A and B are shown apart, each in its own frame.
Chain A
Amino acid sequence: MVKEKKKSPDRPDNTAFTQQRLPAWQPILSAGIVIPGFVLIGLAFIGIGVGLFITSRDIQVLEMDYTGTEASSDCNKCAITNTKNCMCSLDFNISTLFKGPVFFYYGLTNYFQNHRRYGVSRDDSQLYGDLTNFKDPSTDCKPYRVDSNGKPIVPCGAVANSMFNDTFKLYQNVNGQRNLVPFDGKGIAWWTDYNVKFRNPSVEPLKNAFNDTVKPLFWTRAVYELDFSDPSNNGFLNQDFLVWMRRAALPNFRKLYRRITEGDYKEGLPAGNYTLEISYNYPVLRFDGRKKVVFSNVSWMGGKNDFLGIAYLVIGSLCVVMSMVMLIVYAKFKFPEDN
């Protein structure tokens, strides 16, 4: 009966939380407050932009098309005739030293490796070396799962089937002599692809694991004999295969083919004339694609890309300009109100 002593059973708790009185930071975005922020961001961005721009400018890129659509091109013959193992060559000249290590890429345009059905058409378990998937590849691989006789295809699927199979040899022409520029084909694939995601079945010799399977329809050689020169570079662990299997994000892409890190060319490609000998196999003309080769050296930010540097510079300047505008706004609207 005495209210002061009785605890009211239904009375809500009077805490900061239940009464929505938690201490809070209540920022109000207004011109006066954000000016320093804009200046700071602007200056920082300009700084980063300059750094990026300089870095990108120092990167050398040499890009050459060898599709062979033009009659003048040496590869024209291969492009038209579509003969097997057609050889053609591409001559070019480097005027200044191409600083090493030089990365050598092949590039394809109008090539949709990101096509949904294409991308799905693979069997990661098979590529992981799972022998059950050798006998019975995943249905994702359709229609490259089994051949017309019902034999399983290993590696199955459209991605593997469409593997790029042009090969390149680079010669430097020194006094009429052709010096072979040594290519380094090791470590061009992702470390995780080579060591974790892709596995050869633990069968010795490797060939036996592929009994009762057939090679992909487009392929001329089976996956276990992709590289005659290096037995360890065969099977699913073949570096070119690994690079191909990592699908490109955009229809115009390049993929790393080799690096030039050895011998006389360790410091880069000296100025001079070069000949690229191409074993032209991969048909691109029928889908209006183009093939190219790219020489590039890299920096901490990867390949040459001016966009990011320019973007930073533009946005940085914009922020500085904004801060000026804010200052005007602040002066015009803030001061009268205070009075």
Chain B
Amino acid sequence: MRDGRTMSWRSPLALVRDALHGQRARERELRSLVSNLPYEGLGKGKLPNRFFSSNTIKTTKYSLLTFIPINLFEQFHRLANIYFVGLAILNFIPVVNAFQPEVALIPICVILALTALKDAWEDFRRYQSDRKVNNTPCSIYSRREKQFLERRWKDVQVGDFVKVVCNEIVPADLLLLCSSDPNGVCHIETANLDGETNLKQRTVVSGLCTMDRGFEPESFNSIVVCEKPNDNLNHFKCFVEKPNKEKLGAGIESLLLRGCTVRNTDHAVGFVVYAGHETKSMLNNSGSRSKRSKLERKLNIDVFFCVILLFAMCLVGSVGHYIWLESLTGSPPYLTPDSRSNSLASFHMFFTMIILLQILIPISLYLSIELVKIGQIFFIINDVDLYDEETDSRMQCRALNITEDLGQIDYIFSDKTGTLTENKMVFRRCSIMGTEFPHKENAIRLAVLDEPEAEEEIIFNHRLQSAQTGWSLEAEDVTSVDTSRHSRSKVVGMAQSDVAFSSPLETEVIPDQNLVRQISRAESSSRRGGSRRMDPYLDFFLALAICNTVVVSMATARRRRACVSSHSSQTNNPLEILSNLVKKASSFIQRKSTRIRTQSQDPVIDSVRMESTADTNGVSQSDRPAAAAAGSEDLYYEAESPDEAALVYAARAYGFVLLARTPNNVAVRLPSGQVLDFEVLDTLTFDSNRKRMSVLVRHPITKECVLYTKGADYAIMELLGTPYAEHLSENQKNIASDTQHHLDSYAKEGLRTLCIAKKVVSEDVYRSWLVNRKSALAAIDNKEELVMDTAVQMETNLTLLGATGIEDRLQESVPDTTVALREAGIHVWVLTGDKPETAVNIGYACRLLEEEDLLINMSCKNKVTCTSSLDCNLEEVRRYDEDLLNVDTMPSISLVIDGHTLTMALSPDLRDRFVDLAKRCRTVLCCRVTPLQKSEVVKLIREKLKVMTLAVGDGANDVNMIQAADVGVGISGQEGMQAVMASDFAISRFKHLKKLLLVHGHWCYTRLANMIIYFFYKNVAYVNLLFWYQFYCGFTGTAMIDYWLMIFFNLFFTSTPPIMFGIFDKDVSAEVLLGVPELYRTGQGKGEYNFLTFWISILDAFYQSLVCFFVPYWAYKDSDVDIFTFGTPMNTVSLFTILLHLSIEIKSWTVVHWIIMLGSVGLYFGVTLFYSAICVTCNPPSNPYWIFESQMGDPMFYLICTISTVVALLPRYTFHVLKNSISPSPLLQGRELDRMDPSTRDQWIREWRGFRGGGGGQVKRYQQSTPPSPTQETPVDFLPEFLNDDEIPDDDFSLNVTTHQSPVLT
């Protein structure tokens, strides 16, 4: 406890009172924090904030003292461990013991010790990292020294003032009070927290820090009132109460989170509100996920069978003992006098038998499985094929115990955006005021970019020429900008592409000629017309540039990020600070260019820029301001959603360059070169209920308030008021319907659509609205809803400007992957928030749908039609199914269903019919679904069909689905890390799923399944030796094998081979598994580990144990053999049988296999010889001295061993041989493929695939089948009921996920 030091002079009563007080303070909903500075040096007991946790973190579970009790306590949560400890204790009861009591403790102790060792090592690593983190330096303000002093993270207390400098990691949750930025902004990067690499702005709490004097912590005498710590990274409620009772509201936008990195800001000062374990990042830090795999669930049933078997055998022993005792006449000299009755003795014998035969329940199985899974995970994460060059990330396994589930997947539920597609948005076309601009050149460019890079250069040159001639009409200005940009992107595109949104693909847009003409016309006319009214074309692009939350940054900022640690010291030096001070004085744009010059460190970028500058100079510098030219070349846009970035880049292509964005200001340069500075009055951030976002700005020229809104088409369309400029012609009034028409055609092409609208707000309306808005922002309770309500109030009577179509390009190898998964017998479903048209198009593009497929389109408005449609389709599908039995070439069936219909189909009375229909479909596309529906679908299929499900997604809206599925796979893509955080496995590309499932999934499953079967077999085979002996010793629980050797047998001689088998064995090579995806089907459904295989192996174990016992028995019958001489060959035979049995099962022998197998045999002989040579009286009463040695000198021993082993293994061996010859399994055929040399094999696979009619792999677009007609179910038709439904589909228009809590988390 932190109060430990004060204990000496405080009465216990005071301590208790203090503790209670602290408890109450921590529990309270609101916390009042004050500065620590007035109390500095008073000792911890006097600090006002002493009740809140300090910044020291401790993630370790144990300490040196508590390790043993806590670890034991945890281990005893496992039923198996309790069972074995119970047995060991039972052995201490004299009437039932089977062994020397102490020896019986050994196995359980070894298991516990090994597990404890593993835990201790893990904990030690946590301790080390904690210590490193706690000792990280940071600067805290000290009143005594009147400056910030260097301290450690662990010294930070709630109520301290902490200064963070550029590239430093924030040590605790800080309320931002002051920033070096003149606008009171601090940029942070939350990559450590959620993996998002774009910069986020945080603003200081207004009114506390004045630029001219800087921030003086000592003068801070306000009270910070904040909510109780919670784990919500996107939400924070707080206000600062000044001494004059003025309350300043603050939210997440003023909170610097622990673990974030400060970027682009020289320094910032914050007030510690939460520290240590109460920080949001720590509260979010949950350990690795623990799930129970299907195999393990089945395994537990088999363990239960083993328990039954054990009880049966013990019962036999017990009854046998009773009969034996009853049959005895008189008192034989070998029977020690016993006061117990026969029945009591046999009752006791039951427990003795349990002790004797305990290893029938495989004690080390659970530990072995854990070890095997660690090994398997090691190989998965080390697979180079699952490594993504672009993001430099390898595969992550977040759940450690469901590797084998990957080999049993029946259904994959995939998100579309970011999962099947890149989520790298490319501007394709737009429609302004009802006129469509197809951007043909841009489309050509994109098509070209798909070609290999070698051709890229030529085409660039070629196209540049044509572009230049094509634009001769336009001012030279645009051309020059374009030329220089291309030359740069060419180089950069080849050199690197690891930074999001920076590839030429996304940043470059070739303007549509007609549109350019329109703009120049509009601009000149607006200049002439005194700019009283903005032209809609200009407005459209201004909206694109303004209406977003894109942060403008420069190339230098990016580079600094790439090399954080090495350069952080440089930015701290006084020279830098001085130069920054100088910069502050200079103008904004100039400051930027200075920094570029002083800080550029990367020669490559330098040269690139120089080249580009040269180009620019070469062509034309003309009438543009020089500073702006340099600025625009180095501008990078960091957006939280890729759509926004694409739109901003598109606007830039037309000359509307977003130059800078601060919370209160947006600077845009028009094509004319004029820079407009818009004052941002408010930003109505995106939320998934409204599905739109707006920015309210004051136009610098007209001085009127303008609201620019962009959002999903149906979210905008319903808000349209009067058409734009009612005095215009009748034709113009149909803009909305024309635009809607264009939107539908965009969707059909697979483009993502957004509508852009504006509204001019009168000053009065704005003022009255502002009052509401302010009160909403200051609210503590229901703040979210209130703020949203104000947004809805404002977004009315919008005027439609136009719409955009953005292409989300398909990820590399997606069609290939989906085809492979389909061949592997996996049903792939797509659950998306997009329109059905878009989804169907993507479906064809990824070859989820084929041309000849029968496509069922379900889109119903009410439940009655839905029911009838379901019944009707079901009828038809059933008919198809019957036909399918006769003809092979019948088309397969696919279902497209929209979210509204899905809601009805998921209702309890229809869900069975829906499942029935869905299971007959090869693929199902669910469109316009909410995150909740996604998870409902997954759960429904998982529970109704009893299948293994896998959900894959990349965004926050997929989290529900990922958690609902048996296996959740997150794609670490463009949309942050929420999906990855919730997932069991994280990959970076969709195509990795192929190898992950087909190869690693298959391997992990077959390995583990075979290993477990073998493990059961092994224990039964060995223990039964003892059981058979009971028939010859009056069921008295005698063991003919020395107990130490028995323990060693299980712990050492035969423990590593199965583990090795589970980690290394490779039945079929990766190439064949990828080439012949059908092999995956072996794991699906019941798989290789099923009832039959389990019992066959148990029966085999019984047979083998009979052989291992009775061959030596008959060989030694009627001789003068003693007990342990009799047991030695049995033990040896068992070892050989068990190991050779494994050898039959091992599919490929690598050097590791040989070492471990031979090592095990060697160890057995070595240890047994050694033990027999030294143990004279060490282990009474069994006395193994020299027995093994004398046996090894006896030829009979070898003869017995040889024949027993051969007889024991002959049936299994013969069975394998005959089965392999007569009806080879698909896997065996796969192995035979492996033995061919690679070229023949490839040819064979290719021929075989061709034979099956897989096709050449080209992506076909739909032609024959009828795609859903866009005119029939335009969203507008059923929009009202749709929106009332409270389950507004959420997905891909998540423009601003992070600044507001997205509802998917709840």
Complex interface: stretch among B136-144, B1173-1181, B1239-1247: B1173-1181
When distances are taken between beta carbons in the complex, the residues of chain B under 8 Å from A9 are 392
Most buried by A among B334, B1036, B1115, B1214: B334
**Interface with A: B13-21, B740-748, B828-836, B1216-1224, which one?**
B1216-1224
> Judging by beta carbons under 8 Å apart, are A19 and B334 in contact?
no
Query: Chain B: which residue is nearest A251 at the CB level?
Result: B1032
Minimal Cβ-Cβ distance residue in A for B1194:
A302
- Is B1196 engaged at the interface, CB distance under 8 Å to the other chain? yes
Which residues of the other chain, A, contact B1186 by a CB distance below 8 angstroms? 190, 192, 196
With both chains docked as a complex, state the minimum distance between the C-beta of B108 and any C-beta of chain A, in angstroms. Answer: 22
Contact A119 to B389, CB < 8 A, known contacts A124-B1180, A124-B1183: no
| B384 contact set on A, CB distance < 8 A | 11-12, 14, 19
Nearest CB of chain B from residue A151's CB, rounded to whole Å:
18
* B1305 CB-CB contact with A under 8 Å: no
**Interchain CA distance A181-B311 in the complex, whole Å:** 56
A140 touches B1181 (CB 8 A): yes
Contact call B1032/A114, Cβ cutoff below 8 A: yes
Other-chain residue from A19, A25, A105, A300 in contact with B1195 (beta carbon distance below 8 A): A300
Contact for A118 among B335, B1127, B1222, CB less than 8 A: B335
CB distance from B624 to the nearest CB of A (A): 28
A158 to B392, CA, bound (A): 74
Q: Report yes or no: A162 in contact with B1180, Cβ–Cβ below 8 A.
A: no
Enumerate B253-287 residues with CB–CB distance to A below 8 Å: none
Name the one of A24, A128, A289 contacting B1177, with C-beta atoms under 8 angstroms. A128
User: How far apart sit A286 and B1064, CA to CA, in the bound complex (Å)?
Assistant: 61
Answer whether residue A10 sits at the interface, using C-beta atoms and an 8 A cutoff.
Answer: yes
B1260 to chain A, nearest CB (A): 34
On whether the beta carbons of A249 and B1177 are closer than 8 Å, the reply is no
Minimum distance in angstroms from B720 CB to a CB of chain A: 47
Task: Spot the interface stretch: A86-94, A166-174, A231-239, A325-333.
Answer: A325-333
Q: Taking CB as reference atom, which chain B residue is nearest A246? A: B1122
The answer to whether B1149 touches A24, judged by C-beta atoms less than 8 angstroms apart, is: yes
Contact B1220 A29 (CB under 8 A): yes
Whether A287 is near chain B, meaning CB under 8 Å from some CB there, is yes
Chain B residues near A330 (CB-CB < 8 A): 1221
Instruction: Report whether A286 and B1121 are in contact in the complex, using a CB–CB cutoff of 8 Å.
Output: no
Nearest opposing residue in chain A for B562, CB measure: A1
Residue from B98, B330, B1120, B1148 within 8 A of A24 (CB atoms): B1148
| A283 nearest in chain B by CB position | B333
Contact A125 B1177 (CB under 8 A): yes
Q: A302 touching B1122 by the CB < 8 A rule? A: no
Q: Are A250 and B1117 in contact (CB under 8 A)?
A: yes
- B383 beta carbon closer than 8 Å to chain A: yes
With contact pairs A1-B495, A162-B333, A301-B1196 given, residues A115 and B1036 touching in the complex (Cβ less than 8 Å): yes
- How many inter-chain residue pairs (CB < 8 Å) link A and B? 267
Stretch at the interface among A65-73, A259-267, A307-315: A307-315
- Cβ–Cβ < 8 Å partners of A158 in chain B: 333-334, 336
Residue count of chain B within 8 Å CB distance of chain A:
96
Report chain B residues within 8 Å CB of A301: 1195-1196, 1199
B328 at the interface (CB under 8 A from A): yes
- Chain A residue numbers with a CB within 8 Å of B775 are none
CB distance from B1237 to the nearest CB of A (A): 14
Interface string of B1110-1124 (1 = CB under 8 A from A): 010111111111110
A114 contacts which of B329, B383, B1033, B1150 (Cβ < 8 Å)? B1033
How many angstroms between the C-alpha atoms of A192 and B336 in the bound complex? Answer: 28
Say if the beta carbon of A215 comes within 8 Å of chain B: no
A254 at the interface (CB under 8 A from B): yes
Chain A binder among B230-238, B1011-1019, B1200-1208: B1200-1208
The answer to whether A26 touches B1235, judged by C-beta atoms less than 8 angstroms apart, is: yes
Scan residues 766-803 of chain B and give those whose CB is less than 8 A from a CB of chain A.
Answer: none
Q: B248 on the interface (CB 8 Å rule)? A: no
Taken residue by residue from 188 to 202, chain A's Cβ proximity to chain B (1 for < 8 Å, 0 otherwise) reads as 001010001100000
- Confirm or deny: A122 has a beta carbon within 8 angstroms of a beta carbon on chain B: yes
Check: A84 CB closer than 8 A to any chain B CB: no
Q: By the criterion CB–CB under 8 Å, are A26 and B1149 in contact?
A: yes
Query: Quick check: A197 and B1183 within 8 Å, CB to CB?
Result: yes
Query: Which of B381, B1114, B1176, B1228 sits near A128, CB closer than 8 Å?
Result: B1176
Across the interface, name the chain B residue whose C-beta is closest to A250. B1032
Q: Is the CB of B1176 within 8 A of A119?
A: no
Instruction: Please tell me if the beta carbons of A29 and B1216 are within 8 angstroms of each other in the complex.
Output: yes
* A322, CB-defined interface residue at 8 Å: yes
Query: Is there an interface contact between B1122 and A247, defined as CB atoms closer than 8 Å?
Result: yes
Known: A1-B559, A29-B1144, A114-B1040. 7 other contacts (CB 8 A): A12-B381, A30-B1220, A34-B1213, A114-B1034, A286-B330, A286-B332, A301-B1196
A–B pairs, 6, beta carbons within 8 Å: A18-B379, A23-B1151, A112-B1033, A114-B1038, A121-B336, A287-B330
Which 4 pairs between the two chains have the least Cβ-Cβ distance? A286-B330, A287-B332, A249-B1126, A162-B333
B contact residues vs A (CB 8 Å cutoff): 98, 328-338, 352, 379, 381-384, 387, 389, 392-394, 495-496, 498, 559, 562, 602, 604-605, 1003, 1032-1034, 1036-1038, 1040, 1064, 1066, 1070, 1111, 1113-1123, 1125-1127, 1144, 1147-1153, 1176-1177, 1180-1181, 1183, 1185-1186, 1190, 1194-1196, 1199-1200, 1203, 1206-1207, 1210, 1213-1214, 1216-1218, 1220-1222, 1224, 1228, 1231-1232, 1234-1235
